[in-house]
Structure 1
Amino acid sequence: MVDRLAGYGGSLVRAGLGPRDAAVAVDFVADLVFSSSVAMRGLDRTVPDAAGGSLTARESHRRAWARESAGRHPFEAEFTAEETWHGRGWFDDKLAIFLDGLATRIAPGSAGQGNG
């Protein structure tokens, strides 16, 4: 794993990021992978419901969003979308936003120079 992460970091430096930015980027993605995995697995645990039964944390959260936010703001519908609660959840979207932001630290024409 260390060899793979070092390879990713080296690629980022060659693309124009400074060494610190490259190291933080690699660490950020690793943290995102681990935290997303833990969060998605945690949705499978059972929690008590109001009627004295139980349901998954996933269903509890989905019901709360559907009940409490009934469309007051357009973004709230995303919390009730099926893909939000299964598989990788929002991992790909979070990674894309991060990479877009990271790209702003690469100055035009700096690839291979290691600036930033």
Structure 2
Amino acid sequence: MDRKPGRPRGLTVEVIAQAALDDGVATFSMPSVARRLGVAHSGLYRYVEDRDDLLVRALDLAILGADWPDAGLPWRDLLRGIGETIWQMCQDHHGLDSAALSAPRSPRSVEDRIQSYIETLQSQDFVLEDAAVSVEFVITLALTASAEMRRLQKIEAQHENGPRLPVLKAYDTEEVWRGRGWYARKLDIVLDGLEHRRLSS
């Protein structure tokens, strides 16, 4: 019996978004996702508008699956926890850092979480604008720091059998080139500044 045309059994927006994550959130294409799912490329457009829409939905799925800090934490612990979650997401999904930074809009799930975190900071003597900037800053810092470390790893791999790329002496340290680079140092500087700003406002 011939199958009637229509939506393939088991195909949902969530299934397609997961396929995009599995294919590579920064590099997937609509045809590559369709191949992974064994469906026609054109059939995906019954569920998502275009690649940008699918990117946002894939990021949304990654966000929903991440382990986020409790909104009731003290503000320093909360901001550090947000950064840890972003780092773990970047490790779990290669290329998520650059994909998130280039996304056409924020996933709804992250907006909901940000709102709860902003309210927590407000309850701990942050003015609204500082609370919003603080949460956004930590997310952006973790994403950009992760992307930077991937860039440095590529540079180092290209110079594997020779001297490291010449840089200023201050940047030629193991702290810069290993692990998370200067992420923790940058975050500490910002948190110390926020403490001063919060107490003086």
1:4–1:90 CA distance, 2 compared to 1 (3 A): same
Is 2:181 the partner of 1:89? yes
Q: Deviations over 1:52-80 (max 9, x none)?
A: xx416xx634xx24xx64xxxxxx3xx23
Corresponding residue for 2:128? 19
Structure 1 residues 43-82: aligned runs within 5 Å: 43-46=152-155, 54-55=158-159, 60-61=164-165, 64-65=166-167, 69=169, 76=170, 79-82=171-174
- Secondary structure class of the residue paired with 1:44: helix
Q: How many angstroms does 1:12 deviate by?
A: 1.2
Tell me, in whole angstroms, the C-alpha distance in 2 between the residues paired with 1:28 and 1:10. Answer: 16
Residue 198 (structure 2) aligned to one of 63, 85, 106:
106
Is 2:106 the partner of 1:2? no
User: Superposition RMSD on alpha carbons, in Å?
Assistant: 2.3
Which of these two proteins has the greater Rg computed from alpha carbons? 2
Output the TM-score relative to the length of structure 2. 0.39
Unaligned runs of 5+ in 2: 1-109
Q: How many angstroms does 1:44 deviate by?
A: 2.0
% identity of equivalent residues: 35
Bigger RCO of structures 1 and 2 (CA < 8 A, at least 6 apart):
1
Which segments of structure 1 move beyond 6 Å, counting only runs of 4 or more? none
Tell me, in whole angstroms, the C-alpha distance in 2 between the residues paired with 1:27 and 1:105. Answer: 17
Corresponding residue for 1:113? none
Higher fraction of strand:
1
Amino acid at match of 2:176: T
